[in-house]
Amino acid sequence: MSATTPDVVLEMHVARSLLIDAYNAADLALRGRMRAMRLTQNQLMSQNIEAIAKVPASPQYSKMAKKRVDEQLQTLRKFQRIRCDVIHSQMEILDVENSPKAMFSNVQNQARLGRQGLLLTLADLRQCEADLKAVAKEFSPTVFD
């Protein structure tokens, strides 16, 4: 019997959408932090991450604050690869060992032969969303209040 029911497929699609929304909220919060720090914003999140990471601690930006920001930046770096796959791929729901998995196969990252993909469970998608919301909240506490 397949674990991939229409309800599970719908839940996976909703979870993917919520993950994308959380990533965008984290991006907006990061840009807000950059404005507060009077830094020039870049087009790509990866460039903004590196711009903030280069800011040294100072009397206005304590070592503790920098440490907390750097931890959040590390979390965002982790999601850069996942984001590309989740956004730029068609999501397919596969039944792997009687457990539904969302597969994202980014056509930009494929070899000539074979197919590589990112497999995430519903719990993985929800955890990614929660982690990104936490980053957004850390950078901008009013985002999810």
For residue 145, pLDDT over 50 is answered with: no
What mean pLDDT do residues 30-55 have?
93
For residue 136, pLDDT over 90 is answered with: yes
In a domain, 144, yes or no: no
111 pLDDT tier (thresholds 50, 70, 90): low
143 pLDDT tier (thresholds 50, 70, 90): very low
CB 100 within 8 A of CB 94: yes
Q: Which of 46, 12, 42 lies closest to 124 in space, CA to CA? A: 12
What mean pLDDT do residues 13-21 have?
97
In a domain, 71, yes or no: yes
Report the alpha-carbon distance of residue 145 to residue 79 in Å, rounded: 23
In a domain, 59, yes or no: yes
- Entry pTM: 0.86
CB 102 within 8 A of CB 82: no
Dihedral angle over CA of 31, 37, 42, 44, nearest 10: -50
What mean pLDDT do residues 9-29 have?
96
In a domain, 19, yes or no: yes
In a domain, 120, yes or no: yes
In a domain, 145, yes or no: no
In a domain, 67, yes or no: yes
List, in sequence order, every beta strand (DSSP E) within 24-105.
91-96, 99-104
Whole-number pLDDT of residue 4: 74
67 pLDDT tier (thresholds 50, 70, 90): very high
In a domain, 1, yes or no: no
Higher pLDDT: 60 or 116? It is 60
* 3-state DSSP assignment of residue 111: coil
Q: Which of 130, 135, 126, 21 lies closest to 72 in space, CA to CA? A: 135
Whole-number pLDDT of residue 110: 61
Domain holding 83, by residue range, is 6-139
Helices (H) and strands (E) in the chain, counts: 4, 3
What are the angstrom distances between the C-alpha of 55 and each of 3, 26, 112? 48, 19, 42
Structural domain total, the chain = 1
Taking residue 36's Cβ as centre, other Cβ atoms within 10 Å add up to 10
